[in-house]
Amino acid sequence: MINNKINRASLNHTYYSASDSDFSTCTIVLYQEAEQLLEWIADHSIAAPLAYLKQQIDKKNKCIHCRLSDTDTTDLIIISIDATPQQVNKLTIAAGLETADIAASDFLIVGELVDAAQDAKVRYLCKHIAAALKIWAHDGKLYKADKSDQSRSVDQINYKGNLKPQHDLTAGVKLGTSMVKVMDLVNAPSNRKTPREMAAWIKQSSEEHGYKLTIMEMEELISKGFHALIAVNRGSEIGAKCLIAEYRPSGASTHVVLVGKGVTFDTGGISIKGANNMHYMKSDMGGAAAVMGTIDLAASLKLSVNITMIVPTTANSVDGLSINPGDIIDSYSGKKIEVINTDAEGRLILADALAYAVEKYPSDHLVDLATLTGSVVRALGTETSGFMTHNDDLARSIKRAGEATGERTWRLPLWKEYHSYMESDLADISNLASKPMAGAITAAKFLEFFVDEHPSWVHLDIAATAFGKMSGYKDYAATAYGVDLLCTWLQTLEND
């Protein structure tokens, strides 16, 4: 039995047990056959609206909620074991809890209607239900004075069935915990999320989980030659930082470097954005948040993979000192960059971080995440991120992880012909393509110029997926996209 309370003020450790009880305040039933489900409801004399349930099942609704008048069970949630991860995952379940206005604090997962051949699916659902409850119970209204209507708690999560999914429930709570921390970070406004706060976030995580953290300040960035990062930072009041975290579990052999774009607010610089929706640019560090959340979760799960996380972080502001379109700047790699558009700043700071990663941290895999282009949104919509790599094996493994978590990815080409779009007459490369097309791909071609032909590099453009419509929010909000995806992928590397 879970004895702890997960409330909106404090998220503590959670404990589980098997249960002999048939019901809880909110009972979540996993089912395989609709007829068997309806018989189970009848056998337990549950006052559920059977006609409504049949209708929803016929409509292929995979997650159904019923409000009951029973004094013992006020809410019944039905989840089909045949649901795909895209249909039922931590965010869709949390959205269902939010929409249903669940008032319960005790939860029972019933898995006895599912045969043993489906154990993997049951484990997946237990993990995502636990994560969803953590997300649902969390107060994302960070700065409201009146929190009187925001109290939710999860006092117990029990499981009834032959399976023992305690490990999966624990992993789900850890996933949800890292995700809500990432959500709060991305949702925070720029005046409460400068490079200082970014550093404080990862410092707290490193102290909690015991991994090494190095924070490069401006003086060190200058001395080491992070010229592109410093150039973007020139218009900002607060200096840039580069955050480097090193997680080194005993016995791990595979080394992965994760790099995330950490632009805490993007005005566009001198190539200034329009006023409409500029406030969403507080989310332009979504790539950084994803890799920060990933190392936080990986350390919490004690994954057996060596991980180095590198986050260059700065605002992109407008000032008399800001770089101008047409400027030619240096970079850590020694390559010169012609800045055609100052709103293509994320790739500039990533250029330094990637070059530094290749030089200082030899790795089996190099992964970068960034809310990099509007082009990827126009190309793919908001249902998936776009990713680019020359490594087919890496592409397959990233795609499988996306399909397994409900965080979908779609591969775009990196053909050599696209490099000509980025050529400059005056410098080694331009930061914006000469043709108004293929923007997500040409951005990746720019980054590729700084990874020194790393044999297993992949770039994920998460501009469409890191921030969007979320249940419980009137406006767009953070999704924590990438945390589950990357950790699921990292788990496949544990035995490499």
Q: Which residues are identified as catalytic?
A: 273, 347
In whole angstroms, what is the distance from residue 278 CA to residue 206 CA?
32
Which residue's structure tokens are 């400068």?
194
In whole angstroms, what is the distance from residue 283 CA to residue 54 CA?
41
Q: How large is the C-alpha radius of gyration of the chain?
A: 24
**C-alpha angle with apex 91: 88 to 94, nearest 5 degrees?**
95
| E strand residue ranges, 317-425 | 328-329, 337-338, 365-370, 385-389, 409-411
Amino acid found at 176: G
Closest CA to 121 of 159, 165, 76, 171: 165
Provide the 10 A C-beta neighbour count for residue 119.
Answer: 15
Contact 381, 464 (CB under 8 A): yes
Which residue's structure tokens are 């914006």?
432
Closest CA to 471 of 27, 94, 75: 94
Secondary structure class of 171 (helix, strand, coil):
helix
- Structure tokens, 11: 């998220």
- Structure tokens, 479: 């999704």
Contact 291, 259 (CB under 8 A): yes
Provide the 10 A C-beta neighbour count for residue 340.
Answer: 18
